[in-house]
């Protein structure tokens, strides 16, 4: 007889049309049998760490045709996480394995889409890193910068939301290549960290700038070669005015727009023509084939202390709604992670 245990879950109460609030989510407690049905290739997972990511806000809207499906109100939220395999019907995974992939915002999950899971082999780094630098955000930074931006040594690089899970890595990758790097963030503490911890050449607090165009001209008097776009809105409009001819913009996210019922327009798009700018959106899913190559590059860098990664860890599943909401007010410093269990 399979063990039956209680299973606390974070449920989306309803579709969200305005600013996300903790009250848009609620807790549910159910029970789960820790066994895999005979003949199934499913796995029973014990969730250890959950990743809080801005794209999850878009899944709380009702829409069709997006790159990821909407959440279902009344059901547990899902996202990337690190988990321990308790039972496996997939011969590629064994009991006790640690895995990275899509899981539920709950204590235990039964996952049937096992091809979307990656086995964690190197455990000489913090396991939580697989929700960030060694997971989806890390591969996003790697693919977006190296594959989409086609960077060259000596170029000028601007990163918005630079202290976040992706931005802090893009800046470090750019510095490793020999670029001049400036980042924007939303507090003095974050700005200081960009320079002292992550090695950015300069950084500024966008909330204190009355004129973003003037701020960018201050840091990029000769223009921007590469812009790694994480916020959209007014920042993108200002950047377009300051791009160099044949500049590149990698559009990773637009966090300033996710909570708006009516998104802001962009007014300086003619710059794409006059400056021959290449502006390209991308999804990390298209670069999963690079994941082994990325790990081969980044793990030695971490162990040698050449790449730094900062996490903001919230303890307990009960802290998950607050942690997710906090992404949109800039409350977190570094990658926001929720620790569900220490095993």
Q: How far is CA 197 from CA 94, 109, 155, 157, 172, in A?
A: 39, 36, 21, 18, 10
Among residues 186, 315, 195, 202, the alpha carbon closest in space to that of 255 is found at 186
Both ends of the chain: CA-CA distance in Å?
Answer: 23
User: 263-318: per-residue pLDDT in tens?
Assistant: 898 999 999 999 999 999 999 999 999 999 999 999 999 999 999 999 999 999 99
Per the confidence metrics, is the pTM higher than 0.85?
yes
Tokens of 61: 């809207």
For the chain, which ranges sit under pLDDT 70?
1-2
Residue 220, by phi and psi: left (phi above 0), alpha (psi -120 to 50) or beta?
Answer: beta
Cβ neighbours, 10 Å, residue 189: 12
| Pairwise CA distance, residues 144 & 142, whole Å | 6
The first and second tokens of residue 37, run together, are 């049905």
Helix (H, G, I), strand (E, B) or coil at 215: helix
DSSP 178: T
The DSSP letter of residue 42 is -
Phi, psi of 13 (to 5 degrees): -75, -40
Position 236 scores a pLDDT of 98
Residue 255 sits at the vertex; the CA angle it makes with 253 and 260, to the nearest 5 degrees, is 130
Burial category of 132 from C-beta neighbours within 10 Å (exposed 0-12, middle 13-18, buried 19 and up)? buried
- A 10 A CB-CB count for 240 gives 24
Looking at residue 123, its pLDDT comes to: 87
pLDDT at 114: 73
């Amino acid at each position: 007889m399979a063990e039956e245990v209680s299973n606390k879950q974070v449920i989306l109460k309803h579709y969200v049309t305005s600013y996300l609030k903790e009250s848009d989510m609620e807790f549910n407690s159910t029970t789960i049998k820790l066994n895999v049905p005979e003949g199934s290739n499913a796995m029973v997972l014990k969730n250890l760490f959950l990743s809080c990511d801005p794209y999850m806000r878009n899944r709380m809207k009702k829409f069709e045709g997006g790159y990821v499906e909407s959440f279902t109100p009344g059901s547990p939220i899902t996202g990337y996480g690190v988990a321990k395999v308790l039972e496996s019907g997939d011969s590629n995974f064994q009991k006790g394995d640690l895995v990275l992939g899509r899981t539920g915002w709950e204590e235990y999950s039964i996952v049937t889409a096992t091809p979307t899971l990656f086995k964690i082999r190197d455990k000489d780094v913090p396991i939580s890193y697989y929700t960030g630098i060694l997971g989806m955000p890390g591969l996003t930074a790697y693919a977006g910068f190296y594959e989409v931006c086609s960077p060259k040594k000596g170029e000028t690089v601007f990163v918005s939301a630079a202290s976040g899970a992706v931005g802090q890595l893009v800046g470090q990758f750019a510095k490793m290549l020999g670029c001049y790097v400036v980042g924007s963030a939303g507090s003095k503490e974050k700005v200081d960290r960009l320079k002292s911890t992550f090695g950015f050449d300069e950084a500024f607090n966008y909330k204190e700038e009355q004129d973003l165009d003037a701020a960018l001209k201050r840091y990029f008097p000769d223009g921007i070669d590469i812009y790694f776009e994480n916020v959209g809105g007014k920042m993108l409009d200002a950047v377009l005015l300051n791009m160099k001819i044949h500049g590149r913009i990698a559009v990773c996210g637009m966090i300033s727009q996710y909570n708006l019922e009516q998104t802001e327009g962009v007014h300086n798009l003619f710059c794409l023509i006059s400056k021959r700018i290449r502006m390209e959106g991308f999804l990390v899913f298209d670069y999963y084939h690079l994941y082994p190559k990325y790990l081969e590059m980044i793990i030695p860098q971490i162990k040698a202390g050449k790449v730094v990664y900062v996490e903001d860890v919230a303890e307990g599943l009960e802290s998950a709604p607050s942690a997710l909401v906090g992404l949109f007010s800039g409350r977190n410093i570094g990658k926001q992670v929720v620790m569900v269990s220490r095993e």
